[in-house]
Chains A and B, each alone.
Chain A
């Protein structure tokens, strides 16, 4: 019986083994990368809400502090969603007849809360507490981005574990003074000389704050049970 394959096919066979491994590896890499894209994480995707509420207007234009509405951010796990009454503090008079706010007024009349769409929906197997972050110098915009520039809300973070760990491994790269928590622009472009005589340098001032605020060492911050409890 003559040989079925020519000798050159030996090379082709070896090559196809190598290529096969490369292809499988590449495919795996591609899938992992795809899993990080906004297509999967839904980052940068503005959510539709029952009311056309604009953070850009309320935070950016009006300069209202985050904590006016998210009152419990410093004390509890959840930052807190405002009750309809909080809306009515101002909108009893401002835009009081606007059709855009009819849902708010309807909620005020009936006592039925508005059902907002959650934008940052962490998986239930991850424990997260706003208050500990805010009280240890992690600012709002560090995770939520420039909310004062977002007409509709979207998340800028993937909320994936590697994103959490990026900070838990190196908190000194993200920490800021506690009284600057709700500052949207951070690090400051023009630090006030009264507060920061030497300006703000994350590489120098970050580690200082980590010490001052007594952050847990990174092996505790990255321990499984810190977040999965």
Chain B
């Protein structure tokens, strides 16, 4: 019995030693001496004048690309109105900057449902905190005391060309910082497309809506009334819901 006990103790000691032995190697394997992103838990600012691959075609401020393929940085020139069909053509014969192909509506691509959906997602990530779900400038960050964000439904911004929005997203405006780090050039255009949809949503009459959207409005209306418990009023003026009344976030 004594011998068995000694044996047991020896076995336990071996096991313990084994486990500690294994855990001793453990950290070497866990932390290889190699570079990985955020290894030391921090991030660098993106150096000025840096553009990610593939972003140039849609970026009016990207460095000019010459015929020979040599890139050079140009100082931020006056924003070319993206609606101008002549943008990118240089009569002097100098190497033309990469033109943004723009349609008549001011977008470099045909605006489809997919593009609007992507724009909505990106809008709700990057813009909604300040500009609010409806784009009226009543986001949560504004409620917390940030300077009030512009409403997209003011005359100035309804009339502004799409390139103006692109410029503001890229370079900031007033208290708003540049969002060029957070939104790729392509996404910026998609967000603008969604902003246009938001603007439309606030100026349309109920009678102009498609059947499915009317249902959405009715539903939202019913919910509001249920909450307020007040008798209903008829739809007269502006529709009070954004394009999609339901979504992940509320503000």
Contact = CB atoms under 8 A, between A and B. Distances in A.
B210 to A, nearest CB: 15
Nearest to B18: A31
B77 interface: no
A118 interface: yes
Interface stretch (A16-24, A161-169, A202-210): A16-24
Interface of B: 1, 4-5, 7-8, 11-12, 15-16, 19, 29-32, 34, 36-38, 40-46, 121, 124-126, 128-129, 140-141, 144-147, 175, 177, 181-182, 216, 219, 245-246, 248-251
A63 B29 contact: no
A125 B31 CA distance: 8
Which 7 A/B pairs are nearest by Cβ-Cβ distance?
Answer: A113-B42, A16-B4, A123-B30, A124-B32, A116-B41, A65-B125, A78-B37
A81 B38 contact: yes
A192 B246 contact: yes
A115 B42 contact: yes
B247 to A, nearest CB: 9
13 contacts: A9-B1, A23-B12, A24-B12, A63-B251, A68-B125, A80-B43, A81-B42, A86-B181, A93-B146, A118-B41, A124-B34, A125-B32, A180-B248
A124 B30 CA distance: 5
Contacts of A113: 42-45
A224 interface: no
Interface in A105-127: 111, 113-118, 121, 123-125
A62 B129 contact: yes
Interface residues of A, number: 52
Contacts of A62: 129, 140-141, 144
B182 A63 contact: no
Given A17-B4, A68-B126, A93 B175 contact: yes
Contacts of B30: 121, 123-125
A151 interface: no
Given A94-B141, A113-B43, A13 B4 contact: yes
B122 to A, nearest CB: 9
A65 B124 CA distance: 8
Nearest to A114: B42
A117 B15 CA distance: 34
A24 B11 contact: yes
A77 interface: yes
A110 to B, nearest CB: 11
Contacts of B129: 62-64, 68, 90
A23 B12 CA distance: 9
A187 interface: no
Contacts of A121: 30
Given A65-B124, A93-B145, A116-B42, A13 B8 contact: no
B168 to A, nearest CB: 14
A28 B18 CA distance: 11
A180 to B, nearest CB: 7
A195 B34 CA distance: 45
Interface in A10-53: 12-13, 16-17, 20, 23-24, 27-28, 31
